[in-house]
Amino acid sequence: MAEPGQLIRSLSGRPAARNFHSFVINEIGMGVASGAFPVGSTLPGDAEMIDRYEVSRTVLREAIKTLEAKGLVEARAKVGTRVLARNRWNLFDRQVLFWIFHATPEPGFTDSLCEVRAGLEMQAVTLAASRRQAEQMRMMRYWLAQAHVSAAMVESHGLAVFEIHRLMAEASQNPILRSATGLVEFALAMALRGQMQAGVTDFAAEKTAAYEALITAIDKGDGAGASAVMAGILSADRGWIR
């Protein structure tokens, strides 16, 4: 199971799985997301997969069950394990998003992501402005300072910015918004990767002032002001993603 922040931590290279079970899930999941195992195709049989990944039948079958739960495959007796259409994949699952990110998502997917992210985050900051707590505001300012001092380190900077967004979702006191931060992390990672590819070395320069204004607006209870600033942040990220 991917953890919050794992996608941003992987910007310098995809980390190795921690055990055989994770290894098999990641290898097959990446194969599906990248098209190495195309939609509609049937995965190789157990014997071939066991030999390929050097794991037991039990580990392989547990991995397939996990992938079924994520909507990537469907196992049927006497038929085999079929790769399901993308509209069956659980796109709120952090691990599925991790695989899509490293397989290079299609432009249509990133456009859809930006649309959904905008709805989620605009709502989150509006609610946060009326429901925030003092400790949440203190931590937002702490992570803003961390984002500034780590401006030259893409992963540390990215994690600090992600914590600001996560705290905003937390401050909204809406459990559904809190559960959707995997999509936010995906978008942040995409924007950071775009900056890396463009040769950016100061990742804080473009948006530090905007985040300062955003946190101030939330602290003052100014939902409209917070929404206006967030719209600018989303626009900047969308440019790097595209």
Tokens 């157990």 -> residue: 46
Pairing of strands 73-76, 80-83: antiparallel
Give the pLDDT of residue 15. 61
The CATH topology of domain 106-241 is: Four Helix Bundle (Hemerythrin (Met), subunit A) (1.20.120)
Tens of pLDDT, residue by residue over 26-40, are: 999 999 999 999 999
CA atoms of 99 and 85, how far apart (whole Å): 15
Sequence-ordered list of residues with C-beta below 8 angstroms from that of 142, at least 6 positions apart, any chain: none
Domain boundaries, the chain: 6-88, 106-241
Give the pLDDT of residue 106. 86
| Structure-block tokens of residue 109 | 């997917």
Tokens 């490293």 -> residue: 102
Give the pLDDT of residue 95. 96
Tens of pLDDT, residue by residue over 93-132, are: 999 999 999 998 988 999 999 999 999 999 999 999 999 9
Tens of pLDDT, residue by residue over 173-193, are: 999 999 999 999 999 999 999
Query: With the CA atoms of 113, 186, 101 and 35 taken in that order, what torsion angle do they form, in degrees rounded to the nearest 10?
Result: -40
Tens of pLDDT, residue by residue over 51-93, are: 999 999 999 999 999 999 999 999 998 899 999 999 999 999 9
H helix runs in the chain, sequence order: 6-9, 20-34, 46-53, 57-69, 94-102, 107-131, 134-149, 154-171, 175-179, 181-197, 208-219, 223-241
The pTM is what? 0.93
CA atoms of 160 and 58, how far apart (whole Å): 39
- Out of 1.10.10.10, 1.10.150.670, 1.10.3720.10, 3.50.50.60, which CATH number does the structure's domain 6-88 have? 1.10.10.10
